[in-house]
Structure 1
């Protein structure tokens, strides 16, 4: 009995070292309020690099020069507030930050060191940022953005890139946005319902369109009404580019998705630049454009069967067997009265995709057919109506089956015990369908094979100036603008007080585009410098080779380093991981960090 009691005591007793640790922590906790607070602050190296880029672009100075403001009335200059907003997107926590709580995002961070002026983070509030957004809208958001973005290559001594990639995306919003009659005729953006790329048809939205160069630098951004069509945006953008670049626009190639191809836009394209040449464009030829020109040209190319081998068309081949090979044919055609070139491409991937598609389509057809043949109809008109619905539903289907309507007659005897005077039997007739063998339409299968196996690109550039392979490679880089959109949707600087005013939404989106521009600069500089090294550095995740890294990968590496400041004076730089400590000098070179501009 006593033995069991002793065992229980041992089980319930706390280890001595645990008791000491808790006691020590409690003692420290009681003394913390009596001690002088530590006045040291940190600066994530990633934030310092982004701040240096903004400083080299004279971001604060340009904004202070362009916006209307009175230094006597502003606690902090609009340039400083704008720089804080851009930097908040890069705070390592990567949390969504409300404008009214930006001061919390910078807790423990030496914000004064990052913006070059003494800043008390606790004094930052939504009224300050709201006033900034109002003045940005007043000046013109798109104009303000390009006044800085178009100086990037000169500022950082980067070679010019003469390819422009254009696209749009949607941004869903919460809340009601009732437009007044005065807004209907104004230039204020109108949040409204539209084709949501986030699949949120229940929410109002705005659109934004951007143009990046071939390296992913966002040169132009426009915030648009929620129901703006891509064809309207492309018309607006081409006109804007012609106005901004003038004669120099003739040196650029405008690349966009198939929505750019309308008669109105082609007319604008063939107005050309002042030299008289049309705007250089490349786009995917949609199925229903130009009298189904895409299908006609693919059919001709397959009939001629005289393809030119292009090999593997990747700008940076991985060396894996999974990369497709391409073949092409080129034709000159008049499109809406304008001479253009159609490049038909075929790739060696059709059969596996076709087989998967045919299996799916056959499965759908068999399911519907089983439902039809399992039904019994009490009258012939009902059966024929069901047959008409089935035929209508599968009118464009690749598969078909011969259906026969058969009737079945049954004698239905009266229920119960026979009476002295027997009741007559009831003759009941039902109708049902009998299906023959399921057959595939070979002509439709061949058309589908060609559609999966091939596609067409339309361009105003002659083959002598840009051959089929070059056209394809340049079009495939269209994903650079889509990558920028994914970055744009990661952060969210939002507060309901600001979302109630469309003008501030437009300015807020422009701030986010500035953050995307910083991503583009970081990524481009790092990739260019890696290419100049004698061998690829092994400083990626888990010390893997750092080959053409995205900006997010570079930021993750930079976040391993922190600068410690005391009273605004740099004291030391530390690495969160010891194995990374010797990589700081290399990272400073790769991101072109210039301490002189901080």
Structure 2
């Protein structure tokens, strides 16, 4: 081997040993062709000579013998770590401290929020999950032995007291992180019912349930989001409140939280009363909604093009600009052929059932006499 230097000999020896011990070089790859050729040639001679038990060497070279591996107190940390990094990016701990939380209360709040994000369950199940399955306390530095359902209940109440400050902070912080401008705001309502009687509740009232539960008390949930899906404002209202009566408080919060400047508020027809639309305009916003009244005697705007849109379900929607003499708002006629077919089918089905019931009445009524109730 007169054609190699001392340094090359050392490399050949090292690489042969590493291959024999099944070690791999991660950070530095050999680029000397002479060294590579000698290593490969010597290794083939070693294998051919059968002087070494390569199978036994492979077993001995394992860092961990998977056949005898045992573990105890194993805990999950993957999803918790992602949620914790999000908590840190949102800078929620400094906010809670400025809102009057003690350092320990802030750690418990972080523990609870992360746990509920990863494992949404009751306070009782959350406490048990933290103690038995999760390493979330290793991230938040909260003493796991202090976690109880009662402490989680108390922490939730503390967080709810800081609700306005949290929503305002999250609204501006998410805009900063993702470089967003809230030009379009979506506002909608829903309601949910309670299985219990809730007799002493000031919010739970009987109302019009969207889940057809007229027998149960309700609360109304109001939510404002931007088009990226980030929550701007939320509220829990009385179950019997009218949809149109909720807008005033929402507009005031919206201006304080996120959008002091011009933006378009998207809302449905149930909220879009004349008074509410005037209120939106008085605050400097624009609006987009479904008209509560059916337009009559309107004409198509001749210099506006007809627009065809395709929905996610591959249905075509046609948009045309229309105008009327009495209204100054900008109107669009929205037509969907598939929806028209569906509505026509519903109408025909209703007419058929109505005629069938009439026929039943005719068949059951005595001939030649009028059947009346007394």
1:170 aligns with 2:159: no
SS state of the match for residue 319, structure 2?
strand
User: In the aligned structure 2, how far is the partner of 1:84 from the partner of 1:333?
Assistant: 60
Shift of 1:340: 1.9
Contact 1:171 1:205 in 2 (8 A): yes
Contact 2:109 2:159 in 1 (8 A): no
Contact 1:334 1:340 in 2 (8 A): no
Shift of 1:109: 1.8
Decide whether aligned partners of structure 1 residues 109 and 363 sit closer, same or farther in structure 2, where only a CA change above 3 A counts. same
Could you state the TM-score of these two structures normalised by the residue count of structure 2?
A: 0.71
User: In the aligned structure 2, how far is the partner of 1:329 from the partner of 1:134?
Assistant: 50
SS state of the match for residue 127, structure 1?
helix
Which structure exhibits the higher relative contact order, with contacts defined as CA atoms closer than 8 Å and separated by 6 or more residues? 1
Shift of 1:40: 4.3
User: In the aligned structure 1, how far is the partner of 2:275 from the partner of 2:112?
Assistant: 39
Contact 2:90 2:170 in 1 (8 A): yes
Which blocks of at least 5 consecutive residues in structure 2 are unaligned? Answer: 1-69
**Residue equivalent to 1:261:** 272
1:195 pairs, out of 201, 205, 208, with: 208
- Identify the structure with the greater strand proportion: 1
1:240 aligns with 2:264: no
Shift of 1:87: 2.0
1:227 aligns with 2:219: no
Larger radius of gyration: 2
SS state of the match for residue 251, structure 2?
helix
Decide whether aligned partners of structure 1 residues 208 and 342 sit closer, same or farther in structure 2, where only a CA change above 3 A counts. same
SS state of the match for residue 191, structure 1?
coil
SS state of the match for residue 253, structure 2?
helix
Contact 2:191 2:209 in 1 (8 A): yes
Shift of 1:253: 0.9
The 5 Å alignment of 1:495-514 reads none
User: In the aligned structure 2, how far is the partner of 1:350 from the partner of 1:203?
Assistant: 33
The CA deviation string for residues 462-518 of structure 1, in whole angstroms up to 9 with x for no partner, is: xxxxxxxxxxxxxxxxxxxxxxxxxxxxxxxxxxxxxxxxxxxxxxxxxxxxxxxxx
Contact 1:258 1:285 in 2 (8 A): yes
The CA deviation string for residues 136-158 of structure 1, in whole angstroms up to 9 with x for no partner, is: 34x4423332222321121x243
Which blocks of at least 5 consecutive residues in structure 1 are unaligned? Answer: 1-35, 72-76, 181-188, 274-278, 287-291, 387-598
Shift of 1:305: 10
1:153 pairs, out of 175, 190, 205, with: 175
2:139 pairs, out of 114, 121, 137, with: 114
Decide whether aligned partners of structure 1 residues 312 and 211 sit closer, same or farther in structure 2, where only a CA change above 3 A counts. same
**Residue equivalent to 1:80:** 107
The CA deviation string for residues 181-217 of structure 1, in whole angstroms up to 9 with x for no partner, is: xxxxxxxx51222222232222222222111101111
**Residue equivalent to 2:261:** 249
Contact 1:255 1:282 in 2 (8 A): yes
**Residue equivalent to 1:363:** 352
1:65 aligns with 2:98: yes
**Residue equivalent to 2:154:** 131
**Residue equivalent to 1:309:** 306
Shift of 1:68: 5.0
SS state of the match for residue 179, structure 2?
coil
Shift of 1:374: 0.6
SS state of the match for residue 75, structure 2?
strand
Decide whether aligned partners of structure 1 residues 164 and 269 sit closer, same or farther in structure 2, where only a CA change above 3 A counts. same
SS state of the match for residue 340, structure 1?
coil
**Residue equivalent to 2:79:** 46
- Kindly tell me the number of residue pairs found equivalent between the two proteins: 303
Could you state the TM-score of these two structures normalised by the residue count of structure 1?
A: 0.46
**Considering only aligned residues, what root-mean-square deviation do their CA atoms show, in Å?**
3.1
SS state of the match for residue 133, structure 2?
coil
Shift of 1:331: 1.6
Contact 2:317 2:334 in 1 (8 A): no
User: In the aligned structure 1, how far is the partner of 2:191 from the partner of 2:339?
Assistant: 32
Shift of 1:57: 0.9
Decide whether aligned partners of structure 1 residues 224 and 199 sit closer, same or farther in structure 2, where only a CA change above 3 A counts. same
Contact 1:41 1:109 in 2 (8 A): yes
2:320 pairs, out of 316, 323, 328, with: 328
Contact 2:266 2:287 in 1 (8 A): yes
The CA deviation string for residues 341-389 of structure 1, in whole angstroms up to 9 with x for no partner, is: 222222333553244224302321221122122123377342xx58xxx
The 5 Å alignment of 1:400-479 reads none
The 5 Å alignment of 1:338-353 reads 339-349=328-338, 352-353=341-342
